[in-house]
Amino acid sequence: MHLTVTDMSILSSLTREQKEAVGLLQTGTFLEYFDLMLYVHMAVLLNELFFPKTDPHTAALLTSLAFCSTFVLRPLGALIFGYIGDNIGRKTTVIMTTMMMSISCVIMANLPTYAEIGITAAWVVTICRMVQGMSSMGEIIGCQIYVSEITKPPEQYPAVSFISISSSLGAVAALGISSLVTTAGFNWRIAFWIGAGIAVVGSLARLKLRETPEFIDMKRKLQRDLDKKSKRNKEKEHKDSDIKTYIEACKKEKINKRTLAACFLIQCGWPFCFYLGYMYFNPLLKEYGYSSGDIIFHNFILSIIMLASNLAWGLLSYRFHPLKIIKGRAKMFSILVLFLPFIALQSSHPYQIFALQALLFITFLGSPPADSILIKVIPVFKRFTTTSFLYALSRALIYVITSFGFVYLTEAVGHYGVWVLGAPFCLGFIWAANYFEKLEEESGMLPNRKDRQCTAAVRAAA
């Protein structure tokens, strides 16, 4: 995948090296998320092959287990890749994660089914999903941090959002392949061989990346400070242990607890939205007579809408401040959640459900295109670990809460269970967006209307 004409016009002020880096990271993220989402969207088919057949309730729990297995080890992956990213470099991390994804895809492409080897198949596929979840953790955060550190606002906002757009495009491609495999009668293993192949391509492409200037500059600054200390103490050299000790001292810089809470609450929005949009309505669609292949194709069309929505919001961030965008979007999403039980109960056709899902994805709860703002509030040598851990924790926790919570809430109170889970996510997201707005205002990064008009006039003149 390459930068589009629209992308290039927005990023015209970037250097050739910056554009190349953004393009390589977009390509890698697309390939990585193609692999990650391949099983997620083929789960309605693959769970029947790798897990034992049971009653509907147990089947729903097994489906939730397979879905959550992708995310439960993400916090561990965040700590591992966060350490590598903050101590060795951003580039190393994004290459390693793509290689891990490739290996797990190869294993899954050759894994015998439950009918052939029994429960071992379920365990192996679950472990592979965990590995994929861990690798994806270092992937998208690593790319977003990389782009955030090589660009500046306002180009920074759409540039970082294009990473999320690439992940959405990867999901679209995964759904397209899944739909083709299920409707045309191809062997499902072909899809995973394709995934393994493109992950290798992504790894090779990223070898061309260079380390981010901000990360290198910070290390150089530390070295200069150490050299000054050496001269004061009349020492000629400092050992590597001294450098590590000094870096550790920098890492002890405290981060405001409200800032951490706000980052976490912002990140909790998307996993709830994802499960609600893609997974929640599957049992209802089956009641309308949809097969597994029909649901995959249905979700494929939804993923295209999600991609278009992500692209539109990303492009708008070049003209409007990202925090204004995500706050307004969250309010519209909250209204939809309020009316969702009534719409679901009154629906008489799958197209009505489709329209509701499409609106949920257009007004989705999520950090894009404000990702770079959340990233830059964290100190450089804590940035990768902190950002990725909060991201991973939100996915692991909220996917478990939503997938298992909806199973029991739907049985207890029907579609009104959406209110129980949706209310805290919507309110928490809006509070966090307001909090970051205040931080941006205090730092002078949130322009008023007059400032925006002056900026627009300068750009028009240029």
Domain residue extents for the chain: 5-211+253-461, 213-252
Average pLDDT over residues 248-253: 59
Contact between 290 and 298 (Cβ < 8 Å): yes
Rounded to an integer, what distance in angstroms lies between the CA atom of residue 384 and that of residue 138? 9
Residue 237 predicted with pLDDT over 80:
no
End-to-end CA distance of the chain: 30
Spatial separation of the C-alpha atoms in residues 349 and 246, rounded to whole Å: 64
Cα-based distances in Å from 324 to 94, 155, 269, 273, 330? 30, 16, 16, 19, 10
Q: Among the residues of 113-155, which ranges form H helices?
A: 114-117, 119-150
Sequence-distant (6+) residues with CB within 8 A of 24 are 205, 206, 208, 209
**Rounded Cα gap, residues 92 and 436, in angstroms:** 30
**Angle made by CA atoms 209, 148, 332, in degrees to the nearest 5:** 130
pLDDT digits (tens, 9 = 90+) for 360-385: 999 999 999 999 999 988 888 788 88
Question: Angle between the 189-205 and 90-110 helix axes, to the nearest 10 degrees?
Answer: 160
* Of 411 and 27, the one with more pLDDT: 411
pLDDT at residue number 456? 44
Residue 331: what pLDDT?
96
Q: What is the pLDDT of residue 108?
A: 80
Q: What is this structure's pTM?
A: 0.73
The number of helices, as runs of H, and strands, as runs of E, in the chain is: 20, 0
Helix (H, G, I), strand (E, B) or coil at 223: helix
Q: pLDDT at residue 41 above 70? A: no
* Structure confidence at residue 211 (pLDDT): 63
Mean pLDDT of 36-40: 73
Residue 451 pLDDT greater than 60, yes or no: no
The listed range with the strongest mean pLDDT (141-150, 193-202, 260-269) is 260-269
- pLDDT exceeds 50 at position 223: yes
What's the confidence (pLDDT) of residue 267?
Answer: 93
pLDDT at 312: 94
Read off the pLDDT of residues 295-351 as tens digits, 9 standing for 90 and up.
Answer: 888 988 998 999 999 999 999 998 899 999 999 999 999 999 999 999 999 988 899
Whether 410 has a pLDDT exceeding 50, the answer reads yes
Q: Which of 5-9, 344-348, 435-439 has the highest mean pLDDT?
A: 435-439
Average pLDDT for 110-138? 78
User: How much is the average pLDDT of 177-184?
Assistant: 73
Q: Which pLDDT does position 371 carry in this prediction? A: 93
Distance CA 435, CA 419 (A): 24
User: What's the Cα-to-Cα distance from 442 to each of 342, 416, 451, rounded to whole Å?
Assistant: 42, 40, 15
Report which of residues 104 and 270 the model is more confident about: 270
Residue range 5-211+253-461, CATH number: 1.20.1250.20
Stretch 141-154: mean pLDDT: 83
What is the per-residue pLDDT for 449? 45
Percentage of the chain lying above the pLDDT 70 cut: 73
d(CA 404, CA 396): 12
Cis-peptide into 283, omega within 30 deg: no
Distance of CA 350 to the CA centre of its chain: 28
DSSP code for 275: I
pLDDT of residue 49: 75
Residue 72 CA to residue 134 CA, distance in Å, equals 9
Percent helix, percent strand, percent coil in the chain, to nearest 5? 80, 0, 20
Burial group, residue 71, by CB count within 10 angstroms (0-12, 13-18, 19+): buried
Q: Region 218-224: what's the mean pLDDT?
A: 63
Residue 164 near residue 364 (C-beta atoms within 8 A): no
The predicted-structure confidence for 60-96, as pLDDT tens digits, reads as follows 666 666 666 666 777 777 778 777 777 777 677 777 7
- How much is the pLDDT for 202? 66
Lowest-confidence region among 156-160, 192-196, 245-249, 397-401? 245-249
